[in-house]
Structure formats: structure tokens, C-alpha cells
């Protein structure tokens, strides 16, 4: 079984919504790293030396490759990334190898067989 890593950077108020939607789309788990920072096309504005920016969370999903595109599209739709300025970003990368995922492989085997 081959995996992809989906990385999503979302405003912290959307984290739970994105994680729940990804689970419904086939993700078997996630790791959330709180209080990530980043900048888009425009530099963050400041007020009296304090940066005015929303908090972001970094969410990692290790997912089976046949389910990855559906999960990625679900994350985008849930966060409305394409239509919301500074709404978020998500992308996927190939995973060469992974350990500690036997329980996921057992749970995903039937689901992946149906997808193929």
C-alpha cells in the first residue's frame, strides 16, 4: 500500500471542520500543529508594532494514495481556499515509506479495493 502526505495550512477556526470533513472523505487520522505563521502575497499589517494576523494550524494527513485526491478536494471545499483570500492552502506529497501504519493498512484494505 502506498501513501501520500496531505499538508493543510488553515485558519485555526476551521481546523476542526477540515479534520472532520477529511475523515468523512477517507482520512484515518491527522496530526495538528497549532499556531503556525505564514505570509501570502501581501505582507501582514501591523498596528503599533503588533502584527495583525490570524492564527493558522498545520494539519498533516497520511492517507492512502487512491483516496488522496478526494480528501484533498474535500479539504479545499470545506475551507473554501480558492475563493477566500488568505483562507488556506493544502497540498500533497509522495511518501516513500512509512512505519507504524499497520492498523491503517488493515482498515483501508477493503476501502481501497472498492476504489480500484
pLDDT at 43: 62
Q: Which residues contact 37 (CB under 8 A, 6 or more apart)?
A: 53, 56
CATH architecture of 3-115: 2-Layer Sandwich (3.30)
- Going from N- to C-terminal start, the domains of the chain cover 3-115
pLDDT tens digits in sequence order for the chain, 116 residues long: 789 999 999 998 999 999 999 999 999 889 999 988 766 666 666 666 666 567 889 999 999 998 999 999 999 999 998 887 777 899 999 999 988 887 777 777 767 666 66
pLDDT for position 106: 73
Residue 110 has phi, psi (to 5 degrees) of: -65, -40
| Residue 41, CA distances (Å) to 44, 61, 85 in order | 9, 26, 10
**Of 63, 64, 57, 69, residue with least CA distance to 18:** 57
Write down the pLDDT at residue 76.
95
At residue 47, the pLDDT reads 63
Give pLDDT, residue 2: 87
Amino acid at each position: 500500500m502506498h501513501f501520500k502526505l496531505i499538508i493543510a495550512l488553515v485558519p485555526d477556526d476551521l481546523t476542526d471542520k477540515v479534520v472532520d470533513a477529511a475523515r468523512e472523505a477517507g482520512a484515518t487520522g491527522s496530526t495538528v500543529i497549532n499556531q503556525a505563521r505564514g505570509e501570502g502575497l501581501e505582507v501582514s499589517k501591523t498596528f503599533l508594532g503588533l502584527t495583525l494576523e490570524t492564527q493558522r494550524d498545520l494539519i498533516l494527513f497520511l492517507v492512502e494514495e487512491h483516496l488522496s485526491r478526494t480528501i484533498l478536494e474535500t479539504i479545499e471545499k470545506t475551507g473554501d481556499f480558492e475563493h477566500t483570500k488568505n483562507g488556506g492552502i493544502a497540498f500533497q506529497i509522495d511518501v516513500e515509506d512509512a512505519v507504524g501504519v499497520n492498523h491503517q493498512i488493515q482498515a483501508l484494505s477493503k476501502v481501497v479495493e472498492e476504489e480500484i
